Amino acid sequence: MTILDGKALSNKIKEEVKSEVQDLQMKKGITPGLAVVLVGADPASAAYVNMKSKACKQAGIYSIVHEMPETISQDKILEILAMMNKNPNIDGILVQLPLPKHVDTTAILEAIAPEKDVDGFHAYNTGRMTLGLESFVPATPYGVMQLLKEYDINPEGKNVCVVGASNIVGKPMSTLLLNANATVTTCHIYTKNLKEHTKNADIICVGVGKVNLITEDMVKEGAIVVDIGINRLENGKLVGDVDFENVSKKCSYISPVPGGVGPMTIAMLLVNTIKAAKLREERERKLND
């Protein structure tokens, strides 16, 4: 069994990003910038935002965090997004999810300029990604694809079971795998017999937030298991959705939690941010030509 070491790969990618940022500064005179919007005081969201802005700093990316109270109106968030859309120092805008109930998440995501949508959650980028066109790709599934590639795992022709169908993880994960010519089954809370599907899979990607959802009897011998879940146990320990101890004995490859997909998500956000900066520079150059 081989561990899919997301920590190691993310460090490599972050180093590459850092040197690309230095290149962009030296050769083009631009510093990529990321704006993060955090609404409310959810500790998990605050922790993610903190990790994202720390990673930006380490890579030399300019970052600002707009913290807003839970009670802020939707119009006020839209106002701030409109300002950031116009701000030439900001290449990427990310609104940390989930948003409070009184806010229409779709309306907020659609208010981000598609060329600054480094989370890839805008319908424009989702649509383009689905068509297999150039787009911003959501960081978590993008990170999973990079992790598989690093270990020479080609999904083409494989039976892949994606467990979870959220807009930010499961759906884009299934789309990317389908675009990579895998035979994809997407399972979710309405799926009747989950085991029937996981047992048939060469690759299982699971991200629903349920401790020990995937047990050893649900996994084929030699399968590849990618754990996208993040759960904090009462004792403070971080675990995924897979019963790692027992499932790992049956796998050919498995990603751990922590140290698997989590660090890859942050790394791919940085990759998307410098991509946005490069595209901006290209657009400006064309205008000046």
Binding residue (CB under 6 A) for ligand GUN from 90, 95, 153, 274: 95
Q: Is 164 annotated as a binding residue?
A: yes
By CB atoms closer than 10 A (0-12, 13-18, 19+), residue 65 is middle
| Packed helices 170-179 and 123-130: angle between N→C axes, nearest 10 degrees | 30
Is residue 256 classed as helix, strand or coil in its secondary structure?
coil
Site string for ligand GUN, 161-200 (x = CB under 6 A): -------x--------------------------------
Binding residue (CB under 6 A) for ligand GUN from 10, 96, 125, 198: 96
Binding residue (CB under 6 A) for ligand GUN from 34, 94, 129, 274: 94
The long-range contacts involving 46-53, CB below 8 angstroms and separated by at least 24 positions, are 48/96, 49/96, 51/266, 52/94, 52/266, 52/269
Site string for ligand GUN, 254-273 (x = CB under 6 A): -----------x--------
Binding residue (CB under 6 A) for ligand GUN from 135, 140, 174, 186: 140
Sign (positive/negative) of CA torsion 108, 114, 115, 118? positive
Angle at 6 between CA 14 and CA 205, to 5 degrees: 130
Q: Which is nearer to ligand GUN, 94 or 225 (CB)?
A: 94
Among all residues, which ones are annotated catalytic? 52, 96, 119
Name the residues that contact ligand GUN, by CB under 6 A: 94-97, 119, 139-140, 168, 265
List the binding residues for NADP(+): 164-166, 189, 230
